[in-house]
């Protein structure tokens, strides 16, 4: 049911803030590894800062919530979801503050998290 | 209750996609004229394109939903909401397609709407 609607919404370049939950995140190999729970947006600029994402697809890793900097998510129109180069190993060692679900990150934490994920691994 | 939390959340530079609904929109004089229902976001760039906003505060105007281009909304930290220079007159004459609640705008419609609201009035 609603297969056409879903595919039409998936291929549309825009998405509503209240329809974001559940958007799939894939790893570099195109394997489904998690889903987006919410986006966190800069109030002034209107730019997405990071995505609170639930990971559960990595072998040996239970369901965990991580804040993922927006720069680490690349929308793939063919997949209808976001691809990330972030690895299971990186998630395991991610800063403690980036695992929370409810708190908004400070500017300092955002910078620290951005640096963590771009650092050579 | 939760006055501190509210004021702390209001002054934070970030907002969650699932907490956007109800953010207040003020007119140029700082009068409350509506509330944001949802933001519509570019999937690839992560930039907010427009805000689906319910207006109901203008004299003689019933509750109406309008898509408002992001450029027309300026976050005011003191007010804890968005200020807009859009007038009641502009809303009254806004393109029909921008009054819908459910449909995502096409690229052409976004351009047309952006032009409509920046045109001298």
From the CA atom positions of chain A, what is the Rg in Å? 14
Q: State how far residue B35 is from chain A, nearest Cα, in angstroms.
A: 15
Span A106-120, pLDDT tens digits: 999 999 999 999 976
Q: pLDDT value at position A103? A: 83
Burial B92-111, CB ≥16 within 10 A → b, else e: eebeeebeeeeebbeeebbe
User: Helix (H, G, I), strand (E, B), or coil: what is residue A9?
Assistant: helix
B13 touching chain A per CB within 8 A? yes
The strand pair at B32-42 and A24-26 is best described as unpaired
Say which of A14, A20, A44 has its CB closest to residue B17.
Answer: A20
- The residue of B2, B5, B14, B68 whose CB has the most chain A CBs within 10 angstroms, and thus the best one to mutate to test that interface, is B14
Rounded CA separation A50/B69 (Å)? 22
A104: which 2 tokens?
Answer: 């908004």
Q: Which residue of A has its CA nearest to B5?
A: A103
Structure tokens at B95: 């393109």
Cβ <8 Å between A40 and B16: yes
Q: What is the DSSP secondary structure assignment for residue B6, as one 8-state letter?
A: H
Q: What is the rounded distance in angstroms from the CA atom of residue A30 to the CA atom of residue A37?
A: 19
Q: From the candidates B19, B42, B43, which should be mutated to test the interface with A, based on the most A CB atoms within 10 A?
A: B43
**Residue A1: its pLDDT value, please?**
38
Q: Where are the domains of chain A?
A: 15-114
Kind plus residue range of the DSSP H or E element containing A21: none
Residue range B15-114 forms a domain whose CATH class is mainly beta
Å between B73 CA and nearest CA of chain A:
9
**pLDDT (0 to 100) of residue B62:** 72
User: What is the Cα–Cα distance from A18 to B83, expressed in whole angstroms?
Assistant: 22
Instruction: For B10-22, write each residue's pLDDT tens digit.
Output: 789 999 999 999 9
C-alpha closest to that of A104 among B44, B5, B35, B85: B5
What CA–CA distance (Å, rounded) separates A57 from A37? 15
- Is the per-residue pLDDT at B2 higher than 70? no
Which residues from B are below 8 Å from A70, CB to CB?
46
Q: Which residues of B touch A44 (CB under 8 A)?
A: 13, 75
Of the two residues B60 and B62, the one the predictor is more confident about is: B62
A-chain CB neighbours of B40 within 8 Å are: 14-17
Q: What is the mean pLDDT of residues A80-108?
A: 93
Q: Are B21 and A18 a contacting pair at CB < 8 A?
A: yes
pLDDT category of residue B1 using cuts at 50, 70 and 90: very low
CB contact under 8 A, A42 and B17: no
Could you give the CA distance from residue B70 to residue B18 in angstroms, rounded to a whole number?
A: 18
A13 Cα to chain B: minimum distance (Å): 6
| A118 in Cβ contact with A111 (< 8 Å) | no
B residues 73-112 lying closer than 8 A (beta carbon) to A: 73, 75, 104-105, 107
Is the CB of residue B21 less than 8 Å from the CB of residue A19?
Answer: no
């Amino acid at each position: 049911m609603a297969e056409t609607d879903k595919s039409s919404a998936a291929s549309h370049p825009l998405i509503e803030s209240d329809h974001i939950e559940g958007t799939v995140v894939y790893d570099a190999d195109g394997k489904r590894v998690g889903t987006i729970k919410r986006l966190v947006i800069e109030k002034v600029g209107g730019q997405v800062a990071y995505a609170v994402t639930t990971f559960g697809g990595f072998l040996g890793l239970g369901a965990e919530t991580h804040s993922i900097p927006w720069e680490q998510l690349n929308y793939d129109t063919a997949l209808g979801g976001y691809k990330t180069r972030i690895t299971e190993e990186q998630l395991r060692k991610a800063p403690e503050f980036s695992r929370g679900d409810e708190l908004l990150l400070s500017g300092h934490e955002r910078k620290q998290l951005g640096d963590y994920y771009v650092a050579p691994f």
